[in-house]
Amino acid sequence: MDSDVLNSCVVVMHLHYLESVSFFLRYAHNIPNEISLIFTCSSKDVHKEIDRNMSLVNREYIVIEKNNRGRDISALLVACRTTILQYKYVCFL
């Protein structure tokens, strides 16, 4: 795949339940480093678990904490709005 396409992609993953973080991050570990990775969560415990789990791989990522309002779609459209506007392709999980 063209590197310009990869560099214009972002995966946004909303993680809410602490007990499911490690399950979903197994998939995040397989996303190529050229694709940006953003996590949204609504608790400090989930944020800490994301950091702990992502420390196992050598890649950059962003964690955005948001209030648990509007469910997962507000994580994408509100919490990540200014960030995702920088990308041509967005995948939301």
Q: Could you report the per-residue pLDDT of 38-87, keeping only the tens digit for each? A: 998 889 999 999 999 999 888 999 998 887 665 566 656 666 777 888 89
Specify which residues 63 forms β-bridges with. Answer: 39
* Pairing mode, strands 9-14 and 36-41: parallel
pLDDT for 65: 85
Model confidence, pTM: 0.84
Q: In the numeric block, which tokens belong to residue 22?
A: 């490690």
